[in-house]
Chains A and B, each alone.
Chain A
Amino acid sequence: MTAGGPRLAVEGVSAGYDRITVLHDLTLAVAPGELLAVVGANGAGKTTMLRVVSGLLPARAGRVRLDGEDVTGRPAERLAGAGIAHVPENRLVFPGMSVADNLTLGAYSRRRAGRTAADEDRAIVWDLFPRLRDRALQSAGTLSGGEQQMLAIARGLMARPRLLLLDEPSLGLAPKLVTEIFSVLGRLRDRGDLAVVLVEQNARAALRIADRAVVLDRGRLLLEGTPDELLTDPRVQAAYLGRGYTPATT
């Protein structure tokens, strides 16, 4: 582990499905304690990028490094134990199991760490998402969309990740819930060590809490900068924020 180096480094990664290449020579980095927003249109390669980082999809070229260590090509089930938590698109909670069992499985990669460690982690995520505690014994399939999203994030946190990857956490949620979930993401980042990659189509909400942001376009890095820089960029305004958008004055 190199002191002061990036938590995640994606170096010249290309990836795709069958004969289609989705990501082209993508390079980006995230520091510990940093929240990086990744915005872009449908099909820009945001989800593909996360799938490569978490090991669900092999890269065709390039390297992925976690704290300097080359983890390219390691399968997802092993990267979960190495500190990468990927909260996938559409939540993918275990619907037939209780909220509590979903959380227990979130700590699966650390199952040898013992019961007390898992209990501590559960207390932490219940503190972040008090609603989940109220529904601990309810089966996850009966939760609302917002609660399922909270559960998916909580399940990811149970692995004590160094890097948290979030794919469209705001998808299909009411604005109030988006605010609630994003404020938790802000709190996680403020703890100082966790690096967060937030993939969002809701660029406005994402840029509000991000430290830095990148814009992907057809599998390539289009822009990179602070949220303020991106919010005032005419290309971003036109393509991702809707015409006539003016940054909030607060």
Chain B
Amino acid sequence: MIDLLQLVVAGLSTGAAYGLVGVGFVAIHSVTGIINLAQGEFAMVAGFVAIALLGAGFPLAAAAVAAVVTVAVLAGVIERVAVAPAAGSSAVVYIMLTLGVSTTLKATALLVAGPQPRALPAFTPGVLDLGGVQVRPQDLWILVATVIAAAALYVFLERTTTGRAFRACAEQPVAARLVGISPSRMSTLSWVLAGIVGAVAGVVSSPVFQTDWNIGLFLGLKGFVAASMGGLASIPAAILGGLLLGVVERLVAGYISSGLQDAVAFFLLIILLVARPSGVFGRTGAVARV
């Protein structure tokens, strides 16, 4: 029983990181229809920036915040420079484009930081004992960061005019233009939001997963599976999907074989694409919702 709880807690925390990356996929896809293959790299870049700033003597909190801001700006610039000029292209063009962005970011990280994995230190050291369940404090940090990011996103989307405009663009793009909402601005905003959630995931998960030039592939694939559970259209479903994926992975690793852990995501993805293309939590034929 203790084992089970321990696996679930660890699974929830890695799953929360997957979910955050998944939210980035949803943010961009729901407004622009683009699947951003560089989503995982946002997490990788943020991890490296935070590690570098920490190494340069900044306090951990400042390094973390600065890394998130840096990646948010980077994502916005990428949208303006690489994506916006291709407006109106076919899906294949965007796949090549975002794949190119992903490769560029990976290669740059490899050149600058080298092939060795690095990691941020755990935000608080030690191990917590919650009634016999051993919990790494970093797992709680990941969960807390996810809750804060999700709550901030909720308030932004539900309570602010810009957030409503963002949802309007996802729900009904033609009508959104007719009330004066600029699709290109909302596209930039979607990349910035995706940069923020990806960066948060990259920073808080760095002590657990470590940061190397290729970590974006791992996080991006897991995040994509999480987002697919809601048909790439729902933020809450992406977070739930991430949590589900994280827990199932840990349970498979703990009770069956740790070698199977990474196969779980792809097994789930195949079942999902065959059986429920609109997502486990999505409804067939439903309107895209953020």
Contacts and interface: CB of A to CB of B under 8 A. Distances in A.
Interface in A58-79: 75-78
A105 B168 contact: yes
Contacts of A81: 180
Contacts of B180: 77-78, 80-81, 108-109, 159
B177 A105 contact: no
A74 B287 CA distance: 29
B179 A92 contact: no
Nearest to B288: A96
B209 to A, nearest CB: 34
B80 interface: no
Contact of B175 (A78, A88, A101, A104): A88
Interface residues of B, number: 19
A104 B161 CA distance: 8
Interface residues of A, number: 28
Interface in A91-115: 92-97, 101, 104-106, 108-109, 111
A159 B178 CA distance: 10
A12 interface: no
Contacts of A14: none
Given A96-B287, A104-B161, A111-B161, A56 B168 contact: no
B167 A94 contact: yes
24 contacts: A56-B177, A56-B178, A75-B177, A76-B177, A76-B178, A77-B177, A77-B181, A77-B183, A80-B178, A81-B180, A86-B178, A92-B174, A94-B168, A94-B171, A94-B176, A95-B172, A96-B289, A97-B168, A104-B161, A104-B164, A105-B164, A105-B176, A106-B179, A108-B161
Across the A-B interface, give the 4 residue pairs with the lowest CB-CB distance, nearest first. A109-B180, A80-B180, A92-B175, A76-B177
Given A97-B171, A105-B165, 9 more contacts: A80-B177, A80-B178, A92-B178, A93-B175, A94-B171, A94-B175, A104-B161, A108-B165, A156-B178
